[in-house]
Amino acid sequence: AQKITQTQPGMFVQEKEAVTLDCTYDTSDPSYGLFWYKQPSSGEMIFLIYQGSYDQQNATEGRYSLNFQKARKSANLVISASQLGDSAMYFCAMREGSRGGNQFYFGTGTSLTVIP
């Protein structure tokens, strides 16, 4: 089974609207972390947001929030008030394990296009 699944290869959103990028994960480890990264066309990888498996509240960072549903094993990224500069590839990633024995997995990404 895939460790990280991003089922939306491409998404479109109107500028100023909100958009949700889906991510589901598979792990039996009680300790894990979930990350979202943005990769613009220029190629760099930009860290956006992090959610730990023991965190009680959903993570938020500015216009980014992570909709963490532990029972469903989903960690969707919500971008509010989309901007043209949000057009990029978005990768969901997971860290499972403990110190000295972590495994890291990345999804295949979702391409987001913001329409003016």
Which of 11, 20, 22, 50 lies at the binding interface for other proteins (CB under 8 A)?
50
Count the neighbouring beta carbons within 10 Å of the beta carbon of residue 12. Answer: 11
Q: Should residue 47 be labelled a site residue for other proteins when binding is judged by CB under 8 A?
A: yes
* C-alpha Rg value of the chain to the nearest Å: 14
Q: Using CB under 8 A, which of the segments 12-20, 42-50, 69-77, 80-88 binds other proteins?
A: 42-50
Q: Should residue 38 be labelled a site residue for other proteins when binding is judged by CB under 8 A?
A: no
Count the neighbouring beta carbons within 10 Å of the beta carbon of residue 96. Answer: 21
Q: Should residue 60 be labelled a site residue for other proteins when binding is judged by CB under 8 A?
A: no
Q: Is 1 helix (H, G, I), strand (E, B) or coil?
A: coil
Q: Which residues lie across from 60 on neighbouring strands?
A: 65
Which of 15, 103, 113, 115 lies at the binding interface for other proteins (CB under 8 A)?
103
Give the containing element (helix H, strand E) for 64: strand 64-69
CA torsion sign for 110, 91, 58, 26 is positive
Q: Using CB under 8 A, which of the segments 7-15, 18-26, 38-46, 66-74 binds other proteins?
A: 38-46
Q: Using CB under 8 A, which of the segments 15-23, 65-73, 75-83, 101-109 binds other proteins?
A: 101-109
CA atoms within 13 A on the CB side of 51: 27
Where do contacts with other proteins occur on this chain (CB under 8 A)? 33, 35, 37, 43-47, 50, 91, 95, 97-104, 106-109
